[in-house]
Structure 1
Amino acid sequence: MKFAQLRYIKIIMNAFMSIAAFSIGSSIFSLLKSIPVPPWQNFLASSGFGDVLSIPVNMVSNLYAVMVVIAVGYEVAKSFNRPPLAGAMVSFGAFMILTPFTANVRIVNDAGETITGMASGVISLSALGSQGIFLAMFCGIVGARLYVLMLDKNIKIKMPDSIPPSVAGMFETMIPAGLVFILFMVLRMGFAATSYGTMQSFVYTILQKPLMGIGANPVGAALYLMAGKLLWMFGIHGDMLTYATLGSIRSAATQANMAAFAAGEAVPYLEWTLLTPFTNIGILGLTILLLFSKSTQYKSLGKLSIATSIFNITEPVMFGFPIILNPVMAVPAVITPGLTLALTSIAMRIGIIAPSTGVALSNVIPTPIYLWMSTNSISGLIWGCLMVVLSVVIFFPFFKISEKMALKEEAETEAEEV
């Protein structure tokens, strides 16, 4: 709880939540493009409508870092009771100062020859998208915090009270914003003298890319899910805490995958596409067992919660069984999501099932259907059903222990009533 209440953790969480609507909105178009029905896919390819559906996806994925820096700067200034819009704009200016104005380009000349090379005065969309997210967070926090600090030290133009607030605010922002921009210009020139060339290249190479690689393999992604479920066993909302810790990394990977999907390329971070469908698959397996339980209370809970569990809403079982603070169910609850994700990742990598395309889907889509749509293949649907069966098998022996205790309690209660 103390970790989640830290000022800058709350700022980052609030910032990413504030721009979530853009990702959700673009995922609708991503969802439409990924419907695995052959006639629909043929129509998208022949009519060019598939390229049209990719436009909103590209817009969000290629400008995601811009949204992040504005949102973070806004939340920083708001947290210190300073004008949030000004904080957002100062942060955005700082980010653009550090953004490289060179990019690899491909040009077709009049003779039809393709020329590739590095061009100046051009901003790469990747710098404004997934590759720039960590730099955007840095600029959002540092840029807005410096702006707030200067206001706190009265480093500003003080206007008379007779001046309208909107005009006075403009003049008060001038000096702090200018000083922040100067500091970031010095930072840019300093990195230009290094082998990295730009701060964005430094941050991406040293920090962002290795961290994103944590989940870009079966083991790392499995541990990510298992850590969340382990925290649940102690009464802590583990999924929320792991998201607070690694949410920015997950967002960067998601945006990179969405950009690859829109471009028709293979996803660079396969395992990050599997976190959503396998987060709660174990609870679905347990709910299926509840439906066939000999215990009256368990059967009733199964009937009440099967609909929600199918759509990955697990609170009725988590709190009603309960899973939380239940040492008997700790082993299957922690192991199941990690094991099913790791097996699916390996199956995709060796070609048993089609790999995920990178399409962004809602987290309430049932796991088998999710895998069907994310792979655009019936193999995903079949594999998803097998993983649900596997979750039932893993939970079964532990469920029988709990069921035996529940039947004993029901028998004792019935005897007392008699």
Structure 2
Amino acid sequence: MKKFMEILDKYLMPVAEKLNNNVYLTVIRDAFMLVLPLIIFGSVFVVITNLPFWSKDQMAVLNNYLGAANNSTMSIMGLFVVFGIGYNLSKHYKIEAVYGAAVSVAAFIILTPTVIKTPKGVSVDSVLAFDRLGAKGLFVGMIAGFLATEIYRRIVQKNWTIKMPEGVPEAVSKSFASLIPAFITLSFFLVLRIIFMFTPWGNMHDFIYRFVQTPLMALGSSLPATLVAIFFTQIFWFCGLHGQILINSALDPIWRSLSLENYQAFTSGATHLPHIVTKQFMDTFTVSMGGTGMTLAVLVGILIFARSKQLKELSKIATPPGIFNVNEPVIFGLPIVLNPMIIIPWILAPMVVTAITYFAMATGIVPQTTGVEVSWTIPIFFSGMLATNSLAGGILQLFNFTVVLLIWLPFILTIDKQYKKAEKEAKEAIEKAKNRSIKNENNLTT
């Protein structure tokens, strides 16, 4: 175990630090956090519209009234992500963030086709399709956001700007200062659009979707890649680093794209959804079972089986927040961080449960996640039902909960035994000290 810890410290920690300090991964994370409240808003109305007891006619009526909620949020999530990338990256470079964000969005729109074909094959001009602003265009949007901001900020930092005289209102001065950088940046994207018009794909969207996004989504949706992501998430947490931030920053764009495609299929009435692994798969059936490492089952195991005072007190403190998937008390209180005694269940349990969930959905026992955003603080069982729009999703979470408990139980009992022994020795040492003190007092009085 000592050698294993040395390997982690030598090879893994430097990589983790680089990932944690990477500007682009941080910007991606913050951009997705920007859209989170919008996605949750849209998801609530998708759930309401698609409750199992509605008839098809009732669903159609509800969708007519409530459909704008998800169409204006989830369906065009890529547009908000581009804005977030431009804004946060501009803030990092200490330039006007709003203008950087606006230029990024404009660059994305320039690259987006404005002609769509109806089901009857009729071409309609001057239209932006939802899928181009959502799942299908997410990677183009991210490329456009980063590239546009980088070009824009370099021009600003070279002082290729129009400087207005003193006394001009600040808003006017900033607007003119951004004129030349914005003009050059957007001209670049206009040329890029024209170049792609002469390619077999016709636009950058279809090129990126075919040669970049589709292969990455295929890789990210596979069980082996998912297990690798879970493994490193657990390892980083074991080392005291925030595994979700490090891993999700890199993989969130893939998982979000998979979620959006499931969402579009679900809202269109498809009976089979295209992907098993999605953002909701990763969150609802791992994090939303007591937090990272599914530690709610660990706390329940401690409540039932542990006899040591230390573990009993820990369970009393950590269980209430653990119900809502906040598990820092148990991670640092057990502790889990750098505790070689628990590294086996800490890594094994999430990987086993992830495999069980994957096969349950692959075989049709449990429906796949619909792409509806489920807040990570929603307790177990309820989050599973919301994510899959099915009672089976909640039942699967309870089954997985039991599996985690069984994997952890031998280790809980071992830790409890050690703590009881330590407590007994401490108590005996105190008693001996008291007896020695009493004896010394008696000797003095005599």
Q: TM-score by structure 2 length?
A: 0.84
In 1, Cα distance between equivalents of 2:404 and 2:131: 39
Paired amino acid for 2:19: F
Give the counterpart of 1:277 among 262, 284, 300.
284
- Shift in Å at residue 392 of structure 1? 0.7
Where do 5+ consecutive residues of structure 2 fail to align? 1-16, 432-446
- Offset of 1:208 from its aligned partner? 2.0
Q: Which aligned pairs between 1:4-403 and structure 2 lie closer than 5 A?
A: 4-33=20-49, 38=53, 41-42=54-55, 45=58, 48-106=61-119, 115-265=120-270, 266-272=272-278, 273-280=280-287, 281=289, 282-292=294-304, 293-403=306-416
Q: 1:65 touches 1:136 (CA, 8 Å); kept in 2? A: yes
d(CA) in 1 for partners of 2:78, 2:374: 21
Q: Offset at 1:83?
A: 1.7
TM-aligned CA deviation for residue 44 of structure 1: 7.9
CA shift at 1:117, angstroms?
A: 4.5
Q: Contact 1:278/1:337 (CA < 8 Å) preserved in 2?
A: no
Q: 1:357 is paired with a residue of what secondary structure?
A: coil
Equivalents in 2 of 1:332, 1:51: separation in Å? 49
Partner in structure 2 of residue 109 of structure 1: none
The CA deviation string for residues 165-206 of structure 1, in whole angstroms up to 9 with x for no partner, is: 222222222222221122112212222232332222222222
Identity %: 30
- Aligned-residue CA RMSD in angstroms? 2.3
- Number of equivalent positions: 407
For residues 41-77 of structure 1, the C-alpha deviation after alignment (integer angstroms, 9 at most, x for no partner) is: 3498367224533431222122111111122112222
> Partners of 1:274 and 1:63 in 2: how far apart?
21
> Are 2:413 and 1:408 equivalent residues in the alignment?
no
Deviation at 1:261, TM superposition (A): 3.0
Distance 2:59 2:191 in 1: 51
Contact 2:258 2:277 in 1 (8 A): no
For the 8 Å contact 1:219–1:342, the answer to whether it is kept is no
Higher-Rg structure is 2
* Partner Cα distance (1:225, 1:403) in 2: 27
Deviates most, 10-19 or 335-344? 10-19
Contact 1:233-1:323 within 8 A present in 2 as well? yes
Which structure is richer in relative contact order (CA contacts within 8 A, separation 6 or more)? 1
| Structure 1 unmatched runs, 5+ | 107-114
Residue identity in the other structure for 2:344: V
More deviation, 367-376/239-248: 367-376
Q: Which segment is superposed worse, 88-97 or 299-308?
A: 299-308
